[in-house]
Structure 1
Amino acid sequence: MSENYKIVSKFIKDISGETPDIETYLYVKDFISKYQLNIEINSKPLKTQIIEVNTLLKFHDTSESKKRSHFEMTYTSVIKLNEQIEDKKILQKIILCDVQKEIYPELEKALLNLLHTSGYPNIKFEKKVDFDELYKKQFN
């Protein structure tokens, strides 16, 4: 927890794993190492000093292959700001970086659980997401 905010609630809002048929499953099993993880973050104010932060993880094939599976999860965090934060840059950093670093281990575990129970037991995310670096690239 930071001095600027506190996560008051967090939960999986939506989770989906789609593999349309056995042929696709067998194909994807051989090529899932080519899949990429995308992260989208959005937020909306709920009431004074309370913000809903939605983190969408998509693990998908970026090629034009007809045989592909799709895995997606939306994880919601409700945060309470501890003080009157009016600086937009501070708020952006809380939402896009600080909250994400705090919740990401749970998100990764839930998404990997989805992948493993969907028949892809050997999937791991070797590269860790560096939210500080992503934030710096986007805003500097």
Structure 2
Amino acid sequence: MTEKYKILVKYIKDLSSETPDIETYLYVKEYISKYKLGIDISSKALKNKMIEVNTKLKFEDQEKSKKKSYFEIVYSTIVKIDNPIKDKEELQKIILVDVQNDIYPDLEKSLLDVLHNSGYQNIKFSKKVDFESLYQKRFN
């Protein structure tokens, strides 16, 4: 089977770690287990059969707490589509599943490094993201 795409470049496009003060840090350190990971994927066509895929991870408090930290990373991947793709769904699946499966380990490590370097050493993401399942839920 031939690959339908090739990753040309991947890099951190934007990064944010916000903890406004020490009181917030101490509060968040105690309650960070309640934080949730959110994912947003967008893409735009470039020239020469290339696509920019931006994957945004947000790790944030879902509660209405006044003391909260905010963590976000936008990971940009430039993909070249090798063979003509006739089906829009096939292209969507490449962007939303295949590319994500390829880049997610690096993206997750980058976000965890930010969290650890922000003083939250014991954070791990317990569940691996199943992009295939998310894709199926979205389109079925």
TM-score, normalised to structure 2, is 0.98
Distance 1:128 1:20 in 2: 30
Matches within 5 A, 1:53-132: 53-132=53-132
Opposite residue 27 of structure 2, the aligned amino acid is: Y
Offset of residue 86 of structure 1? 2.4
SS at match of 1:95: helix
Opposite residue 30 of structure 1, the aligned amino acid is: E
Q: Which runs of 5+ in 1 are unaligned?
A: none
Cα root mean square deviation, aligned: 0.7
Opposite residue 72 of structure 1, the aligned amino acid is: E
Q: Which runs of 4+ in 1 moved over 4 A?
A: none
SS at match of 2:98: helix
Q: Which range moves more in the overlay, 34-43 or 79-88?
A: 79-88
Offset of residue 3 of structure 1? 1.1
Partner of 2:23 in structure 1?
23
Q: What count of residue pairs does the alignment treat as equivalent?
A: 139
Opposite residue 123 of structure 1, the aligned amino acid is: I
Q: Which runs of 5+ in 2 are unaligned?
A: none
Distance 1:83 1:129 in 2: 28
SS at match of 1:85: coil
Q: Does 1:135 align with 2:97?
A: no
